[in-house]
């Protein structure tokens, strides 16, 4: 049985892998799909993490960020991870891609078994998501999954310290902005026309035994 996913973006940008999760309890947010930006840029230098505009991440913090890592977790057998650092430490980690039952998205951001404060559902898109607070009560972690596709975000302690505005709003907006390519059929921004459909893993179409 395949325990993990290997997801590679074969494009002009670096390779990538990913995962995400859904919520059922807590407050619920509804949003119109029309508010989600769908424009695609092939300027890879503006997308350290394919699909996530660098400018959007910078706006989340009151100090400069550094791009510290873009890698496949645990060698070749887990999702793409993009990390951002600020002067005091880790600011934000983002994971996305496809997931298996053996390695669900909420394991990546350590929310498995926890009750979310907010659940997410967007008009026009399948799937659902959830937001979780940290020990200080601020929303710190967010996940969304549609079918086997997912995205997960996790503020670091330094990121929370230097966060700008409402962290719940920041994570909600960032998740929503990914839906056209994560849950839809739009090209992934920052790539040369790569879509999630074009990089589906073989096991997705293999009947389970």
**108, 96 Cβ separation under 8 angstroms:** no
Predicted pLDDT at 28 = 40
Closest CA to 99 of 198, 178, 196: 196
Query: How far apart are the C-alpha atoms of 177 and 113, rounded to whole Å?
Result: 27
Give 70's pLDDT tier (boundaries 50, 70, 90).
low
Please state the domain extents for the chain: 27-197
Least confident of 34-38, 124-128, 153-157: 34-38
CA-to-CA dists, residue 57 to 12, 40, 49, 76, angstroms: 22, 17, 10, 26
Q: Which residue has the higher pLDDT, 164 or 72?
A: 164
pLDDT in tens, 5-21: 333 333 333 333 333 22
- Three-state SS for 119? strand
Contacts of 116 (CB under 8 A, 6+ apart): 23, 24, 25, 26, 130, 131, 132
The pLDDT of residue 22 = 31
Alpha-carbon distance of 78 to 134, in angstroms, equals 25
CA distance 94 to 69: 10
What average pLDDT does the chain have? 77
């Amino acid at each position: 049985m395949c325990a993990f996913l290997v997801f590679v973006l074969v494009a002009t940008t670096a390779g990538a892998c990913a995962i995400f999760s859904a919520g059922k309890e807590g407050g619920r947010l509804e949003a119109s799909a029309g508010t989600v930006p769908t424009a695609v840029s092939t300027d890879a230098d503006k997308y350290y993490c394919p699909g996530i505009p660098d400018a959007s991440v910078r706006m989340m913090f009151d100090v400069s960020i550094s791009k510290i890592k873009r890698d496949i977790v645990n060698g070749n057998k887990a999702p793409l991870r993009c990390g951002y650092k600020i002067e005091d430490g880790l600011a934000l980690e983002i994971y996305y891609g496809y997931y298996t039952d053996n390695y669900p998205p909420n394991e990546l951001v350590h929310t498995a078994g926890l009750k979310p404060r907010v659940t997410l559902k967007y008009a026009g898109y399948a799937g659902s998501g959830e937001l979780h607070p940290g020990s200080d009560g601020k929303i710190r972690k967010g996940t969304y999954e549609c079918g086997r596709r997912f995205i997960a975000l996790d503020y670091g302690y330094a990121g929370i310290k230097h966060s700008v505005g409402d962290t719940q709003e920041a994570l909600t907006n960032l998740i929503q902005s990914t839906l056209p390519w994560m849950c839809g059929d739009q090209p992934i921004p920052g790539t040369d026309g790569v879509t999630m459909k074009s990089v589906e893993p073989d096991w997705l179409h293999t009947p389970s035994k």
